Every structure is written in structure tokens, then in C-alpha cells.
Amino acid sequence: MDNSEDSSLVLYTHEVSPWGDRAVAILREANLKFEYVVLNPFQAPEWLMPSEPIKRAKVRFASNYFAEKINPIMRACATDFHNKQTQATYKQQVTEFFYKFHEMLLEQAPTGPYFLGQSFSLADVAISPFFLRLQSFNKLCFDGFGDDILKECPRLLEFYQGISSRPSSQETFMGDKAFIDFQDSIFHFFQKPSN
């Protein structure tokens, strides 16, 4: 299934993956050349994963949990930003989420700065982009909403400071203003709604 003639696109997938099939179909429909690299999904390397099975499971859970909870909350608020009830619901849900996630962090380790304590893991990599965007949204659209919660939750604050100071996070995140400017171009946060 090699389609790699002078291609800079590389698709890493497996023949049994329906997501891989979709990507292949799109690339072919667009007449794009790509290299097809087969991976064995049952022998995936455990980069940035702890050796203990229970901790690996917790890292995987946390990696998905953060994005699955925060994305819908932020999206609902962004799409109806000027509605006061939407804003109140957003703040309530984020507050509840912060306290729950703080407890989850404490279950892993009493101190950080990372999800597993001193060890940087896949959970930190997976959560960082979402947490940084959440904090940008809170800081620039809600005048720093959530900062008081971070102060009440020292483990959560330490985690946020740890992931936001990682070079990999700093190099990949576009920054508060650029993120909000982009979101504002779509959702018009700072324009008065027309009646």
C-alpha cells in the first residue's frame, strides 16, 4: 500500500484501523502522495508511561478525561458566549471540574509538579494543550476566573505551573493572546451582541 513517491506526508496506521482507512481515503481523494507506515497497535511502545499497570491505566484515563470534560464545556460557552446563563453554567462546571481534577492529582501524588508527581508522563503531554487553552480562556475572557480556585488547590496550581513551564508546552502553544484572538475571530467574544 505504498504511495510514497517523493512524499513529505507520512501516515502511521494499521490495516485494521477504521480511522486509518478514513485518512487513506481522504489522501487518495485529494490525490496527495503519502508514505504509508504500518504500526502494530498491539505492540505500541510505552513512551512516557510508568511501568506499573495501575499507573498506566490512570495515565490513560486522565489523558482522555481532561479533554473529554473540558472541550464540551468550553465549546458550549464559546458558542453562546454573551448569554449570562451560559457563562454562569461554564463557571460552575469549570469550578467542579477543577476540584475533581485536584482530587485526582492528589490520588496520584501529594506533590507535583506533574500528574504522577516528579515523573513527567503521557498524561502531562495530553492534558497540557487543553489546560493552557482553558486558562487562556479564563484569563482573557473572564478576567482571571479560576485563579482563586488554583490558589485553594495547591496540587492543581503546582500541576498547572509544571506543565506550562515545560519547553514542549511553551514551544507548541501559540500563547494566550493568539489563542483568544483566533477564537474571537470565530465566536466574537468581544463584540456586543446585536439585538
Distance, in Å, from the CA atom of 102 to the CA atom of 107, rounded to the nearest integer, reads 9
Q: Residues 82-137: pLDDT tens digits? A: 999 999 999 999 999 999 999 999 999 999 999 999 999 999 999 999 999 999 99
Given 1.20.1600.10, 1.20.1050.10, 3.40.250.10, 3.40.50.10800, which CATH number is that of 53-187?
Answer: 1.20.1050.10
- The dihedral region occupied by 48, where left means phi > 0, alpha psi between -120 and 50, and beta the remainder, is left
pLDDT at 170: 95
Handedness of CA 150, 153, 159, 162 (dihedral sign): positive
Tens digit of pLDDT for each residue in 25-78? 999 999 999 999 988 767 766 779 999 999 999 999 999 998 899 999 999 999
pLDDT, tens digit, 9 for 90 and up, residues 159-192: 999 999 999 999 999 999 999 999 999 999 988 7
Domain assignments of the chain as residue spans, ordered by start: 10-43, 53-187
C-alpha to C-alpha distances, 137 to 110, 131, 143, 173, 193, nearest whole angstrom: 28, 10, 9, 13, 19
71 and 130 Cβ atoms separated by less than 8 Å = yes
Cell of 116: 504522577
Q: What is the pLDDT of residue 44?
A: 64
H/E element holding 98? Answer: helix 84-108
* Residue at grid coordinates 482573557: 140
The per-residue pLDDT for 5 is 52
